[in-house]
Amino acid sequence: MSALPGVKALVFDVFGTVVDWRTGIARDAKTVLAKHGRGDVDPHAFADAWRRRYQPAMEEVRSGRRPFTRLDVLHRENLDALLADHSITADEADRQWLNRAWHRLDPWPDTIPGLIRLKSRRFIAPLSNGNILLLANMAKRAGIPWDAILGAEPARAYKPQPEAYLRTAEILGLAPSEVALVAAHNGDLAAARKAGLATAFVLRPTEHGPEQSTDTRAEQEWDTIAGSFEELADKLGC
């Protein structure tokens, strides 16, 4: 019997689970930093610092202190603040290009072959905090074979708000138990489980670089646990 019986749709965390955000952001940050004479700034540290502003920016929306604002806008505000911290006066074209680095992230090596297999037996879509254009551009560039683009913008809620998970299931016309979240983050899975979704943990031990200390193992007995998307496909009989 395959894992996740009764699950009709797999929805995926994207940043870190489907794509390697840190390497991609550092690659493009290195270009802009060099252009502005700041080769002394570690591009991976720059990527990490940008990412650290991610949750606080979304919390302004989750708390109700700010209306729903798409992630491209939040990323740009965070980038402007980060550049100011480094006294970098990049022009508008450079800022726009670097902000779009989030649209140009590369998948992990197992992502595309694994998703192709999973798609053969299940509906697959992102359930990401990324906005529709960001996720669609990423998919087009990388060949990610989504059946639809779902997530925070269609749901008008940022994970781990329960509405992010429940409205995604509603959009699909499915009960929460018929949807499984696939993620490399225990916290995301815990919120999905609380909302009634099935859960699949996929290990990404280098998302935060070689010294990663978080999400290095499954911290609960998730419905299924795998080391890659291809292993997940094996477990689901795809």
Q: Find the CATH number of the domain harbouring 138.
A: 3.40.50.1000
Strands 123-128 and 150-151: parallel
Same domain, 58 and 87: yes
Same domain, 14 and 129: yes
Same domain, 155 and 60: no
Same domain, 190 and 157: yes
Same domain, 215 and 113: yes
Query: Can you state the percent helix, strand and coil of the chain, rounding each to 5?
Result: 50, 10, 40
As for how many domains the chain has, the answer is: 2
Same domain, 45 and 129: no
- 123, 169 Cβ separation under 8 angstroms: no
Strands 224-226 and 150-151: unpaired
Structure-block tokens of residue 206 = 């280098």
pLDDT at residue 2, as a whole number? 82
Same domain, 78 and 61: yes
Same domain, 91 and 118: no
Each residue's pLDDT expressed in tens, for the chain with a length of 238 residues: 789 999 999 999 999 999 999 999 999 999 999 999 999 999 999 999 999 999 999 999 999 999 999 999 999 999 999 999 999 999 999 999 999 999 999 999 999 999 999 999 999 999 999 999 999 999 999 999 999 999 999 999 999 999 999 999 999 999 999 999 999 999 999 999 999 999 999 999 999 999 999 999 999 999 999 999 999 999 999 9
Residue 1 forms part of a structural domain: no
Same domain, 30 and 15: no
Residue 48 forms part of a structural domain: yes
Q: How far is CA 218 from CA 56, 188, 203, in A?
A: 25, 12, 8
Task: Tell if the pTM clears 0.85, that is, is over it.
Answer: yes
Q: How far is CA 75 from CA 7, 25, 82, 95, 207, in A?
A: 33, 12, 10, 11, 19
Residue 52, domain CATH: 1.10.150.240
Same domain, 205 and 127: yes
Residue 3 forms part of a structural domain: no
Same domain, 120 and 14: yes
- Asked which of 103, 136, 151 is the last residue of a domain, the reply is 103
- Asked which of 44, 76, 103 is the last residue of a domain, the reply is 103
- Asked which of 103, 118, 147 is the last residue of a domain, the reply is 103
pLDDT at residue 45, as a whole number? 96
Same domain, 96 and 110: no
For residue 48, the surrounding DSSP H or E stretch is helix 43-52
> Distance (Å, rounded) from C-alpha 57 to C-alpha 147?
29
- 137, 103 Cβ separation under 8 angstroms: yes
Where in the sequence is the domain holding 67, given as residue range(s)?
21-103
Cβ count within 10 A of residue 96: 12
